[in-house]
Chain A
Amino acid sequence: MKSKFTWIFTLLLAFFIQFSFAQEKTITGVVSDATGMPIPGANVTVEGSQQGVQTDFDGKYSITASVGQKLVFTYVGMATQTKTVGASSVVSVQLADDAKVLDDVIVEAYRTTTRATSNIAVTTVTSKTIEGRPNANFIQTLQGQVPGLNISTGSGQPGANSTVILRGIGSINGNVEPLYVIDGVPLNSDNFRSINPNDIESVSVLKDAGATSIYGNRGSNGVIIVKTKRGSFNSSLNIKYTGTTSFTAMQNNDYNKMNSRELLTLERTYGQSAVGRRNPGLGNTGGFSEAGNKVPMTDAEIAAYGVNTDWYKELFRTGLAQNHVLSLSSGGENLSSFTSFGYYDMEGVLRGSDLKRFNFRNNLSGKSNDSRFTYNTAVTINYSVRNEAANLGTGAVNINPILGANNGAPYISPSWYTNGQDLFNWYRTGARPEGVPDIGRNTLALSPLMLLDRMKTGTLRTNEIKMIGNVQAGYKLTDDLTLATSIGADFTEANGLNVEAPQSFNAFLFQNPGETFIGFQNESFAREFSFTMNNSLNYRKTFAEKHSLDASIFTEYYKAHQKSFSATQNGLDTKVFEPGNGAGYIPFNPNTPNFYVPNVGSGKATAGLFSYFGSVDYDYDQRFGLAATVRRDASYRFSDTNKWGTFWSVSGRWNIDKESFMQGSAFNMLKLRASYGTTGNQNIAGQSIFAAPNSSRTLFDQTTGYSQLPAYTVVQLGNADLKWETTEQANVGLDFEVFSGRLRGNLDGYIRTTKDLYQSTPISGINGTYSILSNNGSLRNSGVEALLNYELIKSKDFFLNLTFNGSYNKNEFIDIPSEEGFIDNGLQANVVGGAFGQFYTIKYAGVNPTNGNLLFYTADGQLTENPNPETDRRLTGKAPIPTFQGGFGFEANYKGFYLTTQFSYVADIYRFDYDLEGLQDPTDIGIFNKSTDLFNAWRPDNRVTDIPSLYLTNKALDSSSDRYLKDASYVRLRYATLGYDFNKQLLEKTPFTNIRAFVQGENLLTWSKWRGWDAESNRGGDQYQYPTPRIFSVGLELQF
């Protein structure tokens, strides 16, 4: 924080020379920073006069003052020093790298306070951490930085969304993620792929009820406040350019896939091979369970087999990414501005996936001459285009490329692919390229070639325009009373394009008899606009020097609109069609009524909220503080009787370090805080403000009925009793600084209980559905968090700072509505005393040495090969959300070189590794690749093993067991950067004020038992998912 401000802005102040009196003398000196480096542009003023000068390039100044007067040395980002003029005519000062100056500003909901006078639990991450990182989505950068904030991504698609959970899962069916507020504009979703991370000044994570209750109906899961950069008044033009070039590469996995010789050998052993000579003599057999209709390959044939494809290499790549950001800031007397342009282009590791983005931002601040009227505006316009792979995470063998990468047989060569038509003919009739063995006729062994075709011919693209604008204005009616208005708008428009090209394999595959023109193009359009207006009146006054009061009242109005439209054309002409264009659309023909029929869809929705609320904050002599908030909220979602909810909080603090008994202790600061309050969650079906807009009413609709004829059917069973989810949270915290501020940190403990959870509550099937959304049950999160920062070494040349943060969170149901306090969701169960999503499986025991079948435990602990998938399941105590998580790292500086590392970790987290299951499943040997683990399969001569017989007869039961439920805890070197700041003296003769060069890496090393590509995921089970990459970057930062 400090360094950025230090080097970005040079403050210019007009100075006035006054006539000198006799006792005045000229004082000279040098102003330098903690490392002894001279500071140009520092202000030196004589207290109580108009007199002031600035230091020159060597940090030198000269000013006239009288003995006894005080000289004040100030520089943005550094602690102000005051020296009294004495006998000496030379006064040199070293300004401390006082991080406190800016760290001391605590962003609260609708105001800012200082570290000493804040009552709330908040963690702030500044631009210093966010800038220059190659992540498209800044949320990913926050991982491991904020105690209690769990961020998991689980997809390597550039710009992929992350799941963000603060202090444990607080809802089952409703929104679980925090509210995001950018420059005062609450966002509908956490779509940040369009936001330029380099524009961000700070991200503050508000955690306790004292902080979030004022957000009422949207504060239940915490609030993340993002502030973007602004210019300063009276500053000269500062131009900054940052450019990085990155290489993305796959992380490794430990699945040990087979090469082609290994796989051919396994297939021969198993008696089912895709490769080999067709044996006409075997007659009416073939298929899955027979010995196969191929003659087994000989050892010599296997040894001579020439193809050995690594499908990872064919389907993945080393992606190239570049990021350029140019920002300009300046300020005059009454107006300052910050403008930035960004261009970002990242290729995903999966071929064909990428994200390109253009950003523009302009932030203005202005004020009247008397500073009574102030205003801010912020406008950002962003345009992005991304190409994605389709059907990720699904078993779509002809569409999801990850499936081919993971499971494609190595004895298939990518060079055998020519085009979609040829591949289709091969698949259908066995007509294959010259010299290629008879593989894949009518089977999915050709799946990797189908996926190559899909990559070449398919399109799944989204163009997105996102604009956020806001205006804030305040007017001081009196010295104590301020009227303020904030108006914000969030606009997102997305255009989707999904094409199955007419020359693609899939188009031929799904061709119907008589259908001449094939393929389809879907274009979709969706627009969301939301508008927020907040008006407030603030009263702030200090009485009798020690009693400070800060009270506000607010009203807030929120309205959001959505509009969508889509059209699909079936039937395209190969010669003229191009993705995104309408040429080659085949018109409807009454002779072929089922083909060439365009499908269209259209939708719109409206949502709204209205609130009024107030807050009071009282401070006694910076020793005690007490605050209270209350908010009345209305949501459009609920029936008239349940529309309004009231949420409130109280919080207090005791600045212990101010007490007399603390005088002389090692503590520079010691503050105890406590808060209690309520918040609400009105997003009943996930994050969207538009989802489940009228669940209180039973509704019919015009639907497509019998014979494609229109019909009236009931489409929603209403629940008029739906109401708010309410979260009660108690928090106790301690903020401290010891050893002259070298060790700083926070400790927090909390209990957070969510009541009236939105759940799909079971109803009798006679209603035509098994569940309805209603408020039932309670969930509690309790935990502790710590954040520590220790400046281990702080000398002129060498600076080393250690950071640590960690949290423990226990998630448990304390009330479940069903009769037994138990909701069975198949492989997971919600039960009183257990965590949300706890796995509920049969316990796997191992391989039966007598026959190679799987062995399981029954519910009462007996070994069995045939457990009852219903009654032998047991609660595992394992869940897909971690109990422990956090991060640690260090920052080191040595003579301009700096090295920063950041590790993140999660522990006590489990999920299913279905990729491993697929690679160990013997039932589709002959179609897909396998893990070399299978060579260790049970055989009569290999009875003690953890891999069952290839011919096991109870394979189906392992899907109900914990056999593939794996520990996904990890420690990861999430980020490391090594850089060099060029010496300022060397730059003096250049136009640059600062040059910095760096190399950095993301996801460099991971220690985990997880065998897959990526231990990190936001799901309870992983299969065929896009792995997150490792990223290496080199970058350059220039300032003029």
Chain B
Amino acid sequence: MKNFRILLFVVAASLFAACDDAIDIKQPSELLPEDTFETIADLQLGLNGVYGAVGGESAILFTSIFTDEVRVGVANGGQGVGDGGLSFLLNSNSGSAESIWVNNYTVINFANRLILGSQNVEITEEEQGVFNDVIAQARALRAYAHIQLLTYFSTDMKDDNAPGVIAVDFVPTTDQKLPRNTNGEVYTLINSDLDFADANLISQSNPARTYISKDVITAIRARLAAYRGQYTEAEGYADLLIAKPTAYGLATFGTYNPANPVNTAANSNYYRVFRDLSVPAAQGEVIFKLDRVSSGSTGNFYQAWSSVNSSTSGGAFFEVSTALFNRLAENDVRRIVVVDPSSYLTGFTVRPVGKYAGSDNINLLNDVKVFRISEMYLIKAEAMASRGDFAGVAAQINRIRLARFTNASGRDIATPASAQEAWAAILNERRVELAFEGHRYIDIKRLGAFANAGIDRVNSECQQFDACSLNLTDHRWTLPVPRAELSANPNIQQNPGYNN
């Protein structure tokens, strides 16, 4: 018995000694928030994370399907049709609303975590400038994400008292249930971020155009002012960039030959811009784009409009709509950018979306163009339309068309005779120039009433969905606050027209 006691004691003791190693386990590579940001280099890695979270793809895809940029494609076996975008199905369960909402809040969250983490970083005096630059970029991205949210979820960006989105300049806790701020409150946060960025950014114009620079801040401000209807400011900011033709010139058609676009396309600077090929700075076109690289065989627009590539045999789930295609003149280089050039060989019967055909030898992978100089001209045109300068409107639009058309046939638009015509000319030009860049939805919402124009689909492509037009006053011109947010946050307010 005595022996047994000793034995039992030994066994029990060895077990209890060993028990901690079974239950106090830290997995390999656990990185706690407080250990993440310790040096400037860490902050720069954090900033890469913030940039990486900025996504334009879901908004671009939603816009193209919900508005009038696509029709059902030749290889569509049901892909994307059942989601209901083509039939204007939009409700709080819609995936687009859910992803646009959470993607932008992810950017904001990452930026806020970086800003919070930066408080623990000890820096030397020489590092102060770089430190400020990192924070400035993070805050600029935070501002941009807030603007994106307002673009889709604010009922009326021109009204500072209208419900906006939740303005977040802190790292939230998981139990926070915040109501929407007014647009005005969100603008205050956006402007303070942009002011800080403008004051602290080192780069005036990032050469690769893939990072935030002071010029990007100007472009953000121009667009925001235009969306708010503050056209004096908008024009002022747009002019600042238009005044830099050596940095941000309009790209031209180059040697584009409408009779053989497949072979000549590559020599067009405008075409090259969208294939992310090098062009002279004076025809650089792009102010800011999101860099997209991948070592995989699939790109960021993989399985969106096409299953394999943007050629006519690439399995087009969606193609460029007939209504949009009809606005693309043969001598307009934009025809073989919006539609893939391979379409020419089929007589444009199959018209895959060509704007994200691929780059770096990878199909369907392109940088997402966020700001281009042509948008600045069009913002300027809006400002002119708003003050009745119709000749000015035509002049701005024609400056763009001059760069895009191979000859004068059908190139220049006449001076609009009325405000409605002027707005319609701007809306139409934006439709062609900014096609598949995520503008069409907000443009119809902002300008449709002035231009007396809305969804433009041809009957044969919309009848089967019973969705050929959507009233400009319809509630679906503002996205619903997603179901996922509503179920977590009883204090959030749904947009009008949606049931909850």
Binding site for A on B (CB under 8 A): 1, 4, 7-8, 11-12, 15-16, 18-19, 21-33, 36-37, 42, 45-49, 51-54, 71-79, 81-84, 86-87, 89, 91-93, 98, 101-102, 105-106, 108-110, 113, 166, 168, 172, 174-178, 210, 290-291, 293-295, 297-298, 308, 311-313, 315-316, 319, 322, 346-350, 358, 360-363, 460-461, 463-466, 482-485, 487-490, 492, 498-500
B19 in complex: contacting residue of A286, A607, A610, CB < 8 Å:
A610
B464 to chain A, nearest CB (A): 6
In the complex with contacts A606-B25, A770-B485, A287-B361 CB distance below 8 A: no
Q: Which 10 A-B pairs have the closest CB atoms?
A: A608-B22, A762-B488, A705-B48, A706-B51, A713-B49, A711-B48, A711-B49, A428-B313, A705-B52, A768-B106
Q: Are B295 and A288 in contact (CB under 8 A)?
A: no
In the complex with contacts A285-B349, A765-B105, A592-B361 CB distance below 8 A: yes
A298 to chain B, nearest CB (A): 24
A988 at interface (Cβ–Cβ under 8 A)? no
A776 to chain B, nearest CB (A): 12
Interface flags for A586-629 (1: CB within 8 Å of B; 0: not) read 00000011110101000011111110000000000000000000
A707 in complex: contacting residue of B31, B210, B482, CB < 8 Å:
B210
A442 to chain B, nearest CB (A): 5
A543 at interface (Cβ–Cβ under 8 A)? no
Q: Are A706 and B48 in contact (CB under 8 A)?
A: yes
A819 to chain B, nearest CB (A): 6
- Which chain A residues in 273-302 approach chain B with CB under 8 Å? 283-290, 293
A764 at interface (Cβ–Cβ under 8 A)? yes
* Cα of A489 to Cα of B396 in the assembled complex, Å: 77
Q: Are B349 and A283 in contact (CB under 8 A)?
A: yes
In the complex with contacts A442-B75, A483-B7, A711-B46, A823-B487 CB distance below 8 A: yes
- Residues in A with CB closer than 8 Å to B7 are 483
- Residues in B with CB closer than 8 Å to A717 are 174
Q: Are B349 and A287 in contact (CB under 8 A)?
A: yes
* Cα of A823 to Cα of B49 in the assembled complex, Å: 32
- Closest A residue by C-beta to B459: A289
In the complex with contacts A770-B484, A770-B485, A818-B487, A711-B45 CB distance below 8 A: yes
In the complex with contacts A713-B49, A770-B484, A512-B18 CB distance below 8 A: no
A836 at interface (Cβ–Cβ under 8 A)? no
B103 to chain A, nearest CB (A): 9
- Which chain A residues in 415-443 approach chain B with CB under 8 Å? 427-429, 441-443
Binding site for B on A (CB under 8 A): 283-290, 293, 395, 397, 427-429, 441-444, 447, 477-478, 481, 483, 485, 509-510, 512-515, 533, 535, 537, 555, 557-559, 570, 592-595, 597, 599, 604-610, 634-636, 643, 693-694, 697-714, 717, 719, 761-772, 818-819, 823-824, 826, 868-871, 918, 921, 923-924, 927-928, 951, 953-956, 959
Q: Are A559 and B21 in contact (CB under 8 A)?
A: yes
Q: Are B92 and A870 in contact (CB under 8 A)?
A: yes
- Residues in B with CB closer than 8 Å to A599 are 295
- Closest B residue by C-beta to A397: B77
Additional A-B contacts beyond A594-B360, A768-B109, A819-B490 (8; CB < 8 A): A607-B25, A712-B31, A712-B46, A762-B488, A765-B105, A766-B166, A868-B91, A927-B77
Q: Are A694 and B30 in contact (CB under 8 A)?
A: yes
* Cα of A698 to Cα of B171 in the assembled complex, Å: 12
* Cα of A868 to Cα of B290 in the assembled complex, Å: 37
- Closest A residue by C-beta to B35: A700
* Chain A CB within 10 Å, residue with most, of B51, B78, B83: B78
* Cα of A1030 to Cα of B482 in the assembled complex, Å: 46
B109 in complex: contacting residue of A293, A714, A868, A870, CB < 8 Å:
A714
A sample of 16 cross-chain residue pairs with beta-carbon separation below 8 angstroms, ordered by A number, consists of: A283-B347, A284-B347, A287-B71, A287-B349, A287-B350, A703-B49, A714-B33, A714-B109, A766-B109, A766-B168, A768-B53, A768-B102, A923-B464, A956-B81, A956-B87, A956-B465
Q: Are B105 and A766 in contact (CB under 8 A)?
A: yes
Q: Are B316 and A442 in contact (CB under 8 A)?
A: yes
Q: Are A559 and B22 in contact (CB under 8 A)?
A: yes
Q: Are B297 and A288 in contact (CB under 8 A)?
A: no
A988 to chain B, nearest CB (A): 53
A705 in complex: contacting residue of B21, B51, B500, CB < 8 Å:
B51
A712 in complex: contacting residue of B37, B83, B175, CB < 8 Å:
B37
Q: Are B75 and A513 in contact (CB under 8 A)?
A: no
- Residues in B with CB closer than 8 Å to A444 are 75, 77, 315
B64 to chain A, nearest CB (A): 16
Q: Are A429 and B313 in contact (CB under 8 A)?
A: yes
B49 to chain A, nearest CB (A): 4
Q: Are B362 and A512 in contact (CB under 8 A)?
A: yes
- Residues in A with CB closer than 8 Å to B360 are 593-594
A483 to chain B, nearest CB (A): 7
* Cα of A178 to Cα of B109 in the assembled complex, Å: 40
In the complex with contacts A712-B45, A766-B105, A287-B72 CB distance below 8 A: yes
Q: Are B315 and A636 in contact (CB under 8 A)?
A: no
* Cα of A950 to Cα of B19 in the assembled complex, Å: 67
* Cα of A610 to Cα of B25 in the assembled complex, Å: 12
Q: Are B33 and A700 in contact (CB under 8 A)?
A: yes
- Residues in B with CB closer than 8 Å to A923 are 78, 81, 464
Q: Are B313 and A288 in contact (CB under 8 A)?
A: no
* Cα of A483 to Cα of B4 in the assembled complex, Å: 9
Q: Are B487 and A824 in contact (CB under 8 A)?
A: yes
Q: Are A608 and B23 in contact (CB under 8 A)?
A: yes
* Chain B CB within 10 Å, residue with most, of A477, A557, A605, A767: A767
* Cα of A635 to Cα of B24 in the assembled complex, Å: 9
Q: Are B48 and A951 in contact (CB under 8 A)?
A: no
In the complex with contacts A395-B77, A766-B178, A768-B106, A953-B466 CB distance below 8 A: yes
Q: Are A713 and B487 in contact (CB under 8 A)?
A: no
A644 to chain B, nearest CB (A): 9
Q: Are B174 and A284 in contact (CB under 8 A)?
A: no
Q: Are A951 and B77 in contact (CB under 8 A)?
A: no
Q: Are B465 and A609 in contact (CB under 8 A)?
A: no
* Cα of A699 to Cα of B8 in the assembled complex, Å: 42
- Closest B residue by C-beta to A716: B30
B110 in complex: contacting residue of A533, A535, A768, CB < 8 Å:
A768
B15 in complex: contacting residue of A395, A510, A557, A609, CB < 8 Å:
A557
In the complex with contacts A768-B106, A924-B76, A711-B52 CB distance below 8 A: yes
Q: Are A289 and B488 in contact (CB under 8 A)?
A: no
In the complex with contacts A283-B347, A477-B1, A763-B488, A288-B78 CB distance below 8 A: no
Q: Are B315 and A442 in contact (CB under 8 A)?
A: yes
Q: Are A868 and B349 in contact (CB under 8 A)?
A: no
B293 to chain A, nearest CB (A): 5
B484 in complex: contacting residue of A515, A593, A699, A762, CB < 8 Å:
A762
A661 to chain B, nearest CB (A): 46
* Cα of A824 to Cα of B98 in the assembled complex, Å: 14
* Cα of A766 to Cα of B295 in the assembled complex, Å: 31
A770 to chain B, nearest CB (A): 4
- Residues in B with CB closer than 8 Å to A595 are 361
A603 to chain B, nearest CB (A): 8
* Cα of A558 to Cα of B18 in the assembled complex, Å: 10
